[in-house]
């Protein structure tokens, strides 16, 4: 007698793991929030949240830590998507924090680092005890050290030596007042997994993820868009190139890559062939030092 085999695809398996993590958070924590930038990873997290709690609405708000240096296409997509889902959008504003004196404008103009005090201030204000983030372990070596449930102390800081074991997918959600957990449902996904999932689920994205013509300037081998937040320096010359963005962040430190990939299918082919992570290829803030990301994470960064 033949025995039928039950097989689960790779995408189904990682989707199920992420949905389990989201449901666990909602069951264990009082005030979770999803960090939503309008980038591909947070967009995929929203899709997973839809599936996790359907037919009910997503049972937590989303929060964007807004540097004020945004790509217009991403902000438009962010607002449209939260309206479609009917979820509450909280904006933690870096420009407002600059006006109030909470943070100071960095000399280099990159606002990624000063997002951290703004994020921690919002966590305290809204008393969030669990924050969903879209980080993946394949992105960067500091993120590879993260647990799925990443413990943060009462100051919002991360200590890689003070994390909890996660044997057999058992997660310790215990926190004292003031402490919190950063939760990374996409920890075990890769960039290629994300794009395959976007293709399967037919998820919409901001247009900057697809190849298009843009005025850019080459700085240290990285192609930055020229705009009001990133003007040309003396001696620099802008040119129009066909590019796309592999990741979305502060427009003052996020570079594009040359590409002709104008469909999801072409992007999948491109990502499958590349040998450098999206952060390594496009994030100027990660080039400050070898431990730039880990230093920011220890301070409370995403």
Same domain (yes/no): 43, 166: yes
Peptide bond just before 55 cis, omega within 30 deg: yes
Average pLDDT, the chain: 88
Same domain (yes/no): 44, 119: yes
Residue 200 counted as domain residue? no
**Confidence band of 292 (pLDDT split at 50, 70, 90):** low
What percent of the chain shows pLDDT beyond 90? Answer: 59
Same domain (yes/no): 175, 214: no
Residue 201 counted as domain residue? no
Which CA distances in Å does 87 have to 19, 82, 94, 118, 217?
A: 18, 6, 22, 22, 38
Residue 199 counted as domain residue? no
At residue 254, φ and ψ (nearest 5 deg) are -110, 120
CA atoms within 13 A of residue 60's CA, in its CB half-sphere = 27
On whether the CB atoms of residues 111 and 68 are closer than 8 A, the answer is yes
More confident residue, 171 or 278: 171
Same domain (yes/no): 41, 169: yes
| pLDDT for residue 114 | 86
Say if residue 289's pLDDT is above 50.
no
| pLDDT for residue 230 | 83
Same domain (yes/no): 28, 103: yes
Say if residue 291's pLDDT is above 90.
no
CATH value at residue 182:
3.40.50.620
Residue 166 counted as domain residue? yes
| pLDDT for residue 285 | 52
Same domain (yes/no): 50, 78: yes
**Confidence band of 187 (pLDDT split at 50, 70, 90):** very high
Same domain (yes/no): 186, 278: no
Say if residue 213's pLDDT is above 80.
yes
Question: For residue range 122-171, what is the model confidence (pLDDT) as tens digits?
Answer: 999 999 999 999 988 887 777 777 889 988 888 878 787 888 888 888 89
The number of distinct structural domains making up the chain is 2
Burial 225-249 (b: 16+ CB within 10 A, else e): bbeebbeeeeeeeeeebebbbbbbb
**Confidence band of 228 (pLDDT split at 50, 70, 90):** confident
What percent of the chain shows pLDDT beyond 70? Answer: 90
Query: Which residue's entry shows tokens 């129009």?
Result: 240
| pLDDT for residue 302 | 59
CA atoms within 13 A of residue 59's CA, in its CB half-sphere = 16
Same domain (yes/no): 155, 274: no
Residue 1 counted as domain residue? no
Say if residue 229's pLDDT is above 60.
yes
Residue 48 counted as domain residue? yes
Which CA distances in Å does 106 have to 4, 35, 112, 187, 252?
A: 62, 23, 9, 31, 12
279: left (phi over 0), alpha (psi -120 to 50) or beta: alpha
Same domain (yes/no): 30, 174: yes
| Range of the structural domain that residue 110 is part of | 10-192+292-299
| pLDDT for residue 79 | 95
Same domain (yes/no): 220, 173: no
| pLDDT for residue 110 | 77
Residue 3 counted as domain residue? no
Note if the pTM is more than 0.75: yes
Burial 131-160 (b: 16+ CB within 10 A, else e): bbbbbbbbbbebbeebbbbbbbeeebbbee
Same domain (yes/no): 92, 220: no
**Alpha helix stretches (DSSP H) within the chain:** 10-28, 40-53, 72-85, 94-100, 115-126, 191-201, 264-273, 278-282, 292-299
Say if residue 47's pLDDT is above 90.
yes
Same domain (yes/no): 256, 150: no
């Amino acid at each position: 007698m033949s025995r039928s085999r039950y097989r689960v695809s790779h995408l189904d398996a990682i989707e199920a793991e992420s949905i389990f993590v989201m449901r666990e958070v909602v069951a264990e924590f009082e005030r979770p929030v999803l960090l939503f930038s309008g980038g591909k990873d947070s967009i995929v997290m929203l899709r997973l949240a839809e599936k996790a709690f359907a037919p009910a609405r997503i049972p937590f708000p989303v929060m964007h830590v807004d540097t004020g240096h945004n790509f217009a296409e991403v902000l438009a997509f962010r607002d449209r998507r939260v309206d479609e889902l009917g979820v509450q959008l909280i904006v933690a504003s870096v420009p407002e924090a600059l006006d109030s004196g909470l943070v100071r404008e960095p000399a280099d103009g990159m606002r990624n680092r000063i997002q951290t005090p703004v994020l921690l201030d919002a966590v305290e204000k809204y008393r969030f005890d669990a924050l969903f983030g879209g980080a993946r372990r394949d992105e960067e070596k500091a993120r590879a050290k993260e647990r799925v449930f990443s413990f943060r102390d009462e100051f919002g800081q991360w200590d890689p030596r003070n994390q909890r074991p996660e044997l057999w997918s058992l997660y310790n959600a215990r926190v004292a007042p003031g402490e919190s957990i950063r939760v990374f449902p996409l920890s075990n996904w890769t960039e290629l997994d994300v794009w395959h999932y976007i293709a399967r689920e037919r998820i919409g994205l901001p247009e900057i993820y697809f190849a298009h013509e843009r005025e850019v300037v080459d700085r240290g081998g990285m192609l930055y868009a020229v705009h009001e937040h990133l003007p040309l320096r003396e001696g620099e010359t802008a040119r129009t190139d066909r590019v796309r963005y592999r990741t979305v962040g502060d427009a003052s430190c996020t570079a594009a890559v040359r590409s002709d990939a104008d469909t999801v299918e072409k992007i999948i082919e491109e990502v499958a062939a590349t040998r450098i992570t999206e952060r390594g290829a496009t994030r100027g803030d990660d080039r400050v030092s070898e431990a730039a990301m880990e230093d920011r994470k220890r301070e409370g960064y995403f």
